[in-house]
Amino acid sequence: MKFFVDTANIDDIAELAATGLIDGVTTNPSLVAKSGRPFKDVIKEICALVEGPVSAEVVATDYDGMIKEGRKLAKIAENVTVKLPLTWDGLKACKTLTGEGTMVNVTLCFSANQALLAAKAGATFISPFIGRLDDINLDGMELISDIRQIYDNYLFDTEILAASIRTANHVKESALAGADVATMPPNVIKSLANHPLTDKGLETFLADAKKAGIKV
Query: Which residue numbers are catalytic?
Result: 83
CA distance 31 to 4: 15
Query: Contact 102/83 with Cβ under 8 angstroms?
Result: no
CA distance 28 to 109: 15
CA distance 24 to 51: 7
DSSP letter at 196? H
Q: At 46, phi and psi to the nearest 5?
A: -65, -45
